[in-house]
Amino acid sequence: MTIKLPKAIEAYFEADRIGSPDAVVAAFTHDGVVKDKYKTHRGQDAIRAWMVEAGQLYTYTAEPFSLGAENGKTQVTAHVVGTFPGSPIDLRFFFVLNGDKVAQLEITV
């Protein structure tokens, strides 16, 4: 299934797909926030470190297949397959956008 994602969200998934921490950071606002695996990463340096660590620990692909809204956030559900415990899994990505950038991202099961 192909879904039409907002520009900022498409930029995030494309950067993640190519495995570029710098491209992922470029998808976020300067003071962006990521919440993943019970940890909060604030600011571009922290987001870059989060992506570098994830890339060193695991290889994976994330294929978005559902788009919706919940509590004022854009929700994308993606099928994620990789070298991590529990693979494959469908994860929910909750985005708060600021213009054409991601201001906040929370990843949950």
Residue 22 CB coordination number (10 Å) = 11
Running along the chain, 109 residues long, what does each successive block of 10 average in pLDDT?
A: 88 95 97 97 98 92 95 96 95 97 97
- End-to-end Cα spacing for the chain: 20
Task: Specify if 37 maps to a domain.
Answer: yes
CATH number of the domain enclosing 72: 3.10.450.50
In this prediction, residue 29 carries a pLDDT of 98
Note down the domain range covering 42: 7-108
In this prediction, residue 98 carries a pLDDT of 96
* Separation of alpha carbons 91 and 65, rounded Å: 10
Q: For residue 94, give both structure tokens.
A: 């909750």
Q: Of 63, 80, 74, 64, which is closest to residue 101 (Cα–Cα)?
A: 74
* Separation of alpha carbons 107 and 76, rounded Å: 10
Domain count, the chain: 1
Task: Specify if 2 maps to a domain.
Answer: no
Task: Specify if 1 maps to a domain.
Answer: no
Q: Of 35, 102, 45, 43, which is closest to residue 74 (Cα–Cα)?
A: 102
Task: Specify if 16 maps to a domain.
Answer: yes
In this prediction, residue 2 carries a pLDDT of 72
**Could you tell me the pTM of the whole model?**
0.94
